């Protein structure tokens, strides 16, 4: 048995000596990597070589163009070097290291090569490999390969498998354009199928260094903006007229090719499409913060505070201004505290965009409970109160230091919280989906808005005489706000029908209304019960009247034959030379409902969407839907409603305004049917 084992070992070494296999190579200077080279030199015209690299977890190597750091692997040939050596590079990944953007591989990777081997018995050289984790190591692996006719066992399969992972040649239906100017490379790639998970990797240019591409999907177009420098944060050379090699990736597909760099492209400025909506949000937040001062819980605090400065002729104005400035600072800091709470809430909820949270039955149920609690509070069923002596002390005296007035402003914000549930609820909902920078900006605007009367009095103390005094009107305002909050609660309850069914949801709504009416009657007596019932009937009658006024222009039923929305359905309709109307909606989307009843159900629109050459595709985002989310992301959308029109005249599609306009819809649909030559 021992002799047989020794014989097998000798035969194995003999087979390795005959076959072109370096075996696994390691280095004493780098115990995180090992490499192996195998070859097939049986073809006299072209030989094949396979380089295998295995790295420990957390370590990476580099692509042919490493990016802003690292060194691509290379072979330093010794003796008689082979000719026409061609490396084939698998699709890399992008890594961020200390603010630098690099391109490479993590874990195991195989590099197939072709070459013309020289005459002789061996092929020798040094593989120079750069590997990085928290530190980078440059390692040399000397090797020798015997130019034998026989390839190592399993070589053909391993080589074919490595070749199958390589990018394809640039597809004929992908159109590339590139421009350069002001240290920025611009790339536009158009593909009929659109882009789902795009990425771009660039070959290096002499004396130029590329940063991380900023990608944006616009229908079938992928727009990339890449910062360029000379590698030392200076101006890059003029790249116009050069050829740019690149690798385009979309999910599991990858294409490599090159394009000529021309003059700068006419692209919209980055972020130019979101300025209006952000300004609108800031304006709304300022107005919302200002209205908080009219809430029944806050106005008495402000009125009592102003009572101490009515005799302006006998008091110096400078201390008064400082007092109100300190109180304003207290309001602003308190809103920043609310912003911090909302940031933590967003982190725990894990929401990624406005409206996503309404796909969860638990979130809807939580919001129903919160709004019902605030409704009951506003209707006087229970109170959120501090002890009366403490409230009076905080609202009127505090202490005479600026710190005491700062606390008075904070206390006013504290009292505004239970009375201002609609505004606070809007801010929290925005916190679940907005970027953190915008979240803090909105809360800052809320704080400034609430501080405006305090700041105005600090500038013009005589304005305090214009403030309405507390009176019975505050109770009526509170009752009206309570009924408005009840409407919000019932709307949220109606969203549960997609999860619990219409019958169960209807019983829940009836139970909530009955419980509130009984509680109001018990708390306020017959008069309160009658007043609430009368106001509810008045509001309900107004809603019914509004619906009756719009009924003549609204069809009794949907006549459009809607088909399920998908990329394949869209491409099939375009192949058939059809016009396509896309509607992505959700039950919880109020704007979607407004679009439906004000535009989509109009007779003219129904007739246009029912035309023989029109395909209507609808996606329902009421519940989570990964394919629908990917469809929206491919078009740069993160919320509903979303409407888009395609056709022979609009092959790239045109996105409509979130708030649909009937004339604009019909005009765009007509334009989509006009073939462009």
Q: Return the structure tokens found at 179.
A: 């421009």
The answer to whether residue 553 scores a pLDDT higher than 50 is no
Confidence of residue 7 (pLDDT cuts 50, 70, 90): very low
**Is residue 442 a contact partner of residue 336, using CB atoms and an 8 Å limit?**
no
Q: State the span(s) of the chain assigned CATH 2.60.40.10.
A: 169-262
Task: From 636, 655, 635, select the one nearest 646 (Cα to Cα).
Answer: 655
Three-state secondary structure readout of 55-70? ECCCCEEEEEEEECCC
HEC assignment per residue over 326-383 = HHHHHHHHHHHHHHHHHHHHHHHHCCCCCCHHHHCHHHHHHHHHHHHHHHHHHCCCCC
Q: Which is more confident, 417 or 43?
A: 43
Predicted pLDDT of residue 105: 95
**C-alpha to C-alpha distance for 439 and 432, rounded to whole angstroms:** 9
Extract long-range pairs of 569-578: CB within 8 Å, 24+ residues apart. Answer: 569/615, 569/617, 570/617, 570/646, 571/192, 571/193, 573/615, 573/617, 573/646, 574/192, 574/646, 574/651, 577/613, 577/648, 578/613, 578/614, 578/615, 578/647
Peptide bond preceding 558: is omega within 30 degrees of 0, i.e. cis?
Answer: no
Q: What is d(CA 462, CA 163) in angstroms, rounded to the nearest whole number?
A: 82
Its CATH architecture, for the domain 2-166, is Sandwich (2.60)
CA-based radius of gyration for the chain = 35
pLDDT for 423 beyond 50 = no
Q: Which among 415, 416, 474 has a CA at the least distance from the CA of 291? A: 416
Residue 579 pLDDT exceeds 90: yes
Angle, CA of 40, 41 and 44, to the nearest 5°: 140
Banded pLDDT at 81 (limits 50, 70, 90) = confident
65 or 556, which is more confident?
A: 65
**So what's the pLDDT on residue 13?**
40
Tell me how far apart the alpha carbons of residues 182 and 229 are, in angstroms, rounded to a whole number: 10
Mean pLDDT over all residues of the chain? 74
Residue 283 has pLDDT above 60, yes or no: yes
- Pairing between β-strand 579-585 and β-strand 614-620 as defined by DSSP bridges: parallel
Q: Flag whether pLDDT at 277 surpasses 70.
A: no
d(CA 337, CA 424): 13
Among 182-196, 231-245, 365-379, which stretch is predicted with the lowest mean pLDDT?
Answer: 365-379
Least confident of 178-192, 236-250, 254-268, 401-415: 401-415
Q: Which pLDDT does position 548 carry in this prediction? A: 46
Q: Closest Cα to residue 219, out of 642, 661, 608, 620? A: 642
pLDDT at 349: 40
Range with the poorest average pLDDT among 161-170, 245-254, 291-300:
291-300
Please check whether residue 588 is in contact with residue 552, taking contact to mean a CB–CB distance below 8 angstroms.
no
Query: Is residue 69 pLDDT above 50, yes or no?
Result: yes
d(CA 637, CA 616): 19
Q: pLDDT tens across 475-511, in order?
A: 665 666 566 667 667 766 776 776 777 778 778 877 8
Q: Give the span between the Cα atoms of 668 and 660, in whole angstroms.
A: 12
Q: What is the pLDDT of residue 217?
A: 84
| Residue 54: strand, helix, or coil | strand
Block residue for tokens 């993590």 = 106
Q: Give the H/E segment covering residue 617.
A: strand 614-620
Burial class (CB within 10 angstroms; exposed 0-12, middle 13-18, buried 19+) of 377: buried
User: Which residues in the chain are classed under CATH 3.40.30.10?
Assistant: 562-672
List b or e across 640-663, with b for residues whose CB sees 16 or more CB atoms inside 10 angstroms: bbbbbbbbebbeebbbbebebeee
Q: Among the ranges 412-416, 422-426, 513-517, 535-539, which has the highest mean pLDDT value?
A: 513-517
Percent of the chain with pLDDT over 90: 25
pLDDT grade for 465, boundaries at 50, 70 and 90: low
d(CA 407, CA 323): 11
Whether the Cβ atoms of residue 643 and residue 617 lie closer than 8 Å to each other: no
The 3-state DSSP class for residue 628 equals helix
Whether the predicted pLDDT of 591 surpasses 90: no
Tell me if 92 sits within 8 A of 103, measured CB to CB.
Answer: yes
Measured CA to CA, the distance from residue 635 to residue 619 in angstroms comes to 14
Closest CA to 531 of 479, 472, 481: 479
pLDDT tens digits for range 159-182: 999 998 899 999 888 999 999 987
Model confidence at 659: pLDDT above 80: no
DSSP line for 289-314: HHHGGGSTTTHHHHHHHHHTTS-GGG
Side-chain-facing half-sphere of 314: CA atoms under 13 Å: 4
Report d(CA 445, CA 47) in Å as an integer: 69
Residue 445's Cβ-count burial label (10 Å; 0-12, 13-18, 19+) is buried
CATH top class, domain 169-262? mainly beta
Confidence class for position 183, pLDDT limits 50, 70, 90 = confident
pLDDT over threshold 80, residue 589: no
In this predicted structure, the answer to whether residue 324 has a pLDDT above a threshold of 90 is no
> Cα dist. 636→7, 193, 406, 630 in Å?
66, 15, 44, 10
pLDDT confidence tier of residue 255, bands split at 50, 70 and 90:
very high
Average pLDDT over residues 298-305: 48
Q: Flag the least confident range among 42-51, 162-171, 276-285, 397-406.
A: 397-406
Which residues, in sequence order, are bridge partners of residue 253? 250
Sheet strands (E) in 447-578 = 562-564
pTM: predicted TM-score of the whole model, two decimal places: 0.44
Model confidence pLDDT, tens digit, residues 501-545: 777 877 887 788 777 777 777 776 666 566 566 555 555 554 444
**Beta strand ranges found along 60-194 (DSSP E):** 60-67, 74-77, 83-87, 93-97, 100-106, 109-116, 122-132, 136-146, 168-169, 175-181, 184-190
Phi-psi region of 154 (alpha: psi -120 to 50; beta: other; left: phi over 0): left
Q: Say if residue 80's pLDDT is above 90.
A: no
pLDDT at 419: 42
Residue 442 predicted with pLDDT over 80: no
CA 662 from centre of chain: 29
CATH of domain 562-672: 3.40.30.10
pLDDT of residue 588: 66
The span from the CA of 383 to the CA of 362, in Å, is 26
Position 630 scores a pLDDT of 76
Whether 469 shows a pLDDT value over 50: the answer reads: yes
What does the DSSP 8-state code read for residue 205?
A: B
pLDDT greater at residue 251 or residue 435 = 251
Lowest mean pLDDT, pick from 64-78, 341-355, 394-408, 655-669: 341-355
In whole angstroms, what is the distance from residue 15 CA to residue 7 CA?
12
Number of residues in the chain? 677
Closest CA to 615 of 667, 576, 659: 576
């Amino acid at each position: 048995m021992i002799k047989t084992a020794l014989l097998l070992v000798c035969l194995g070494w003999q087979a390795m000596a005959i076959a072109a296999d370096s075996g696994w190579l390691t280095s004493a200077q780098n115990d995180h990597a090992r490499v192996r080279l195998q070859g097939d030199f049986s073809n006299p015209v072209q030989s094949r070589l396979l380089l295998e690299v295995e790295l420990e977890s957390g370590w990476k190597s580099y692509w042919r163009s490493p990016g802003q750091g690292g060194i691509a692997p290379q072979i330093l040939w010794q003796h008689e070097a082979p000719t026409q050596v061609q490396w084939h590079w698998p699709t890399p990944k992008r890594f961020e290291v200390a603010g630098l953007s690099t391109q490479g591989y993590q874990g195991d990777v195989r590099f197939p090569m072709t070459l013309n081997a020289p005459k002789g018995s061996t092929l020798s050289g040094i593989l120079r490999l750069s590997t990085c984790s928290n530190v980078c190591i440059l390692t040399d692996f000397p090797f020798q390969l015997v130019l034998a006719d026989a390839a190592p066992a399993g070589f053909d399969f391993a080589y074919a498998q490595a070749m199958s992972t390589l990018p394809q040649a640039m597809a004929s239906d992908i159109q590339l354009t590139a421009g350069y100017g002001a240290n920025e490379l611009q790339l536009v790639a158009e593909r009929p199928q659109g882009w789902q998970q795009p990425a771009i990797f660039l070959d290096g240019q002499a004396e130029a260094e590329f940063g991380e591409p900023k990608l944006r999907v616009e229908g079938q177009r992928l727009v990339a903006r890449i910062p360029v420098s000379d590698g030392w944060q200076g101006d890059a050379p003029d790249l116009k007229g050069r050829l740019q090699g690149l690798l385009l990736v979309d999910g599991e597909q990858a294409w490599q090719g090159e394009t000529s760099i021309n003059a700068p492209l006419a692209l919209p400025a980055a972020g130019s499409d979101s300025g209006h909506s952000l300004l609108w949000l800031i304006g709304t937040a300022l107005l919302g913060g200002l209205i908080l001062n009219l809430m029944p819980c806050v106005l008495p605090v402000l009125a009592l505070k102003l009572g101490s400065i009515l005799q302006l002729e006998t008091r110096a104005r400078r201390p008064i201004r400082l007092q109100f400035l300190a109180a304003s600072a207290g309001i602003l800091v308190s809103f920043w505290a609310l912003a911090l709470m909302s940031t933590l809430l967003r982190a725990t909820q894990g929401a990624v965009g406005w409206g996503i949270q309404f796909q969860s039955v638990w979130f809807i149920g939580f919001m129903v409970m919160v709004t019902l609690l605030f409704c009951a509070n506003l209707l006087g069923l229970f109170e959120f109160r501090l002890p009366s002596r403490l409230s009076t002390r905080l609202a009127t005296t505090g202490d005479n230091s600026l710190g005491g007035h700062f606390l008075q402003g904070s206390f006013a914000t504290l009292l505004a919280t239970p009375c201002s549930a609609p505004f606070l609820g809007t801010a929290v909902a925005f916190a679940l989906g907005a970027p953190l920078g915008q979240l803090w900006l909105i809360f800052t605007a809320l704080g400034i808005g609430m501080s405006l009367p305090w700041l105005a009095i600090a500038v013009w103390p005589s304005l305090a005489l214009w403030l309405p005094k507390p009176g019975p009107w505050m109770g009526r305002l509170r009752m009206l706000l309570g009924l408005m909050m009840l409407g919000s609660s019932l709307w949220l309850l109606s969203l549960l029908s997609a999860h619990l069914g219409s019958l169960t949801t209807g019983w829940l709504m009836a139970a909530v209304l009955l419980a509130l009416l009984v509680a109001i009657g018990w708390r306020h007596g017959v008069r309160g019960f009658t007043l609430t019932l009368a106001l509810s009937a008045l509001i309900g009658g107004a809603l019914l009247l509004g619906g009756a006024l719009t009924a003549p222009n609204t069809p009794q039923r949907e006549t459009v034959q809607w088909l399920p929305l998908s990329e394949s359905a869209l491409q099939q309709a375009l192949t058939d030379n059809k016009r396509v109307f896309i509607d992505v909606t959700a039950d919880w989307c109020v704007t979607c409902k407004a679009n439906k009843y004000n535009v989509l159900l109009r007779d003219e629109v129904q007739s246009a969407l029912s035309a023989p050459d029109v395909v209507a595709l609808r996606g329902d985002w009421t519940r989570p839907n990964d394919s629908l989310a990917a469809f929206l992301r491919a078009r740069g959308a993160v919320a509903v409603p979303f409407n888009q029109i395609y056709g022979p005249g609009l092959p790239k599609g045109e996105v409509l305004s979130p708030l649909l306009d009937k004339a604009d819809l019909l005009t765009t649909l007509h334009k989509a049917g006009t073939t462009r030559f």
